[in-house]
Amino acid sequence: MSIIEWADKYRWLSAEEAARPGKYRFDVTPHLVWPGGPLEALDDPNVTEIVGRKSAQVAWTSGVLGNALGKWIDIDPSPILVLFPKAEAAKQYVGEKLEPMIEATPRLRKKVDLRSRKLQQRQDFKRFPGGFLKMVGSNSPASVKSTPVPRVAVEEPDDCNLNLRGQGDSIKLAKERLKTFRRSKIIIGGTPTIKGLSAIDAELEISDKREGLVPCHECGQSHALSFDNLFCADDPDYHHEVYGKKRPEHAYYACPHCGCSWDDNQKNANLKHGRWVATAEFRGIAGYILNELYATFWGSRFQALMEKKLQAEHAASHGNIGPMIAFVNSSKGESYEYKSDAPKTDELEKRAEPYAELTAPNGVLLITVGVDAQ
């Protein structure tokens, strides 16, 4: 039984973990069940690692990690390690996602006795027949370097410790737990932060970088959804302090092939016919690129996304780049690149002039050197 089949048949959602409790349904997260998607990859023996560089609201934690854990605990048990940035994040996941999922899903409730003293169940350690689930923070060397396991998941790698008390990258240390197992799996999913420093960007670079192609209902041509195609025309009779002449409620998406405009309902309908396509060589690592345009939730409709975009642009124009960083990371699902007016090093090198050491060139009285310590 595949993970998709297991979730479709057995999983239930509680009111604690979802806005719409009840039987689990993939119709609100169609990108998870497209051909070549992350759940399909988790069942593929040729795939050793699944990477998701994602925005918010794309159901990665619940739909990918949650469903994988559910199937593994229920019908394919083994020891499992889940790495979080901090121990507090692990506790939050258990209380808000894991335990409610177990309580709401009868088959999991039978396998994981959350109140058993005999099994020594703890908030960060759940034992079940055939295995256990251990959740650790990346700030704990002993926890990260402990028990060998065949399955590892890493949540929000950009927030994980990259130098664990002088013992190295916590993500690499977690991967070391897999070495003794011939058939292992690792799930790494997170939102990128700063370009050049992002751990999830680095993981994606060694994957096959799959893009989600969505067909247009008008012309039938497919493309990867991009914020470059989200528009809002000026209204000459309107003015807003933040939005200017744009009314976010009039935002629309335009097909880059035929120019046809999509509303939210049309986009959500088109999403049901999407597919994943690799853009790089496959070498055992399936990578997924997701932004908030792939989300079908109310908070991710075009109006809400346009409001966030315009608010970020307005704040940036007044010297506050915080909202723009948040928009680029959490909505576009991309790392933020700091821009500077300072000249590039190669441009400075071209202006260098030869002169003797320990002397100042003509026209210079004194040479000073400064270092900015962060």
Count of positions (residues) in the chain: 374
pLDDT, position 117: 60
Going by their DSSP bridges, the two strands 125-128 and 252-254 should be labelled as: unpaired
CB burial string 76-98: b at 16+ within 10 A, e below: ebbbbbbbbbbbebbeebbeebb
Q: Which of 17-31, 249-263, 283-297, 324-338 has the lowest average pLDDT?
A: 17-31
Q: Quick one: pLDDT at residue 154?
A: 95
Exposed e or buried b per residue across 321-337, where buried means at least 16 C-beta atoms within 10 angstroms of its C-beta: eebbbbbbbbbbbbbbe
pLDDT of residue 76: 96
Residue 232: name the closest of 252, 256, 260 by CA: 252
- Mean pLDDT is lowest, of 38-42, 110-114, 215-219, 231-235, for 110-114
Do 73 and 110 touch, CB atoms closer than 8 A? Answer: no
When pLDDT is averaged across residues 151-180 and rounded to a whole number, the result is 81
Asked whether the whole model's pTM tops 0.85, one would answer yes
How many of the other CB atoms lie within 10 Å of CB of 196? 9
Q: Can you say how many angstroms the Cα of residue 259 is from the centroid of all Cα atoms in its chain? A: 29
| Torsion of Cα atoms, 165 then 169 then 174 then 177, to 10° | -90
3-state secondary structure of 276: strand
Least confident stretch, 81-85, 237-241, 249-253, 358-362 = 358-362
Residue 59's nearest CA partner among 151, 159, 189, 224 is 189
Q: Is the pLDDT of residue 326 over 80?
A: yes
CATH code assigned to 3-223+276-297: 3.40.50.300
Chain centroid to CA 145 = 24
pLDDT digits (tens, 9 = 90+) for 117-129: 655 668 889 999 9
- The pLDDT assigned to 351 comes to 77
Number of Cβ within a 10 Å radius of residue 250: 15
Angstrom distances, CA of residue 308 to CA of 20, 130, 213, 322, 328: 25, 46, 24, 12, 10
Distances (CA, A) of 180 to 45, 95, 135: 17, 31, 20
Strand runs labelled E in the chain: 12-13, 22-23, 49-53, 80-84, 125-128, 131-137, 151-155, 185-190, 210-215, 222-224, 230-231, 252-254, 261-262, 275-278, 285-289
The mean per-residue pLDDT over the stretch 154-177 comes to 78
Residue 120: predicted pLDDT: 62
* pLDDT grade for 186, boundaries at 50, 70 and 90: very high
Q: Compute the mean pLDDT over every residue in the chain, rounded to the nearest whole number.
A: 92
Using alpha carbons only, what angle is made at residue 186 by residues 166 and 333, rounded to the nearest 5 degrees?
A: 85
Place of tokens 């932060």: 193
Instruction: Calculate mean pLDDT across residues 159-188.
Output: 79
Are the C-beta atoms of residues 218 and 81 closer than 8 Å to each other? no
Spans of all domains in the chain: 3-223+276-297
325 CB-near residues (< 8 Å, 6+ apart):
336
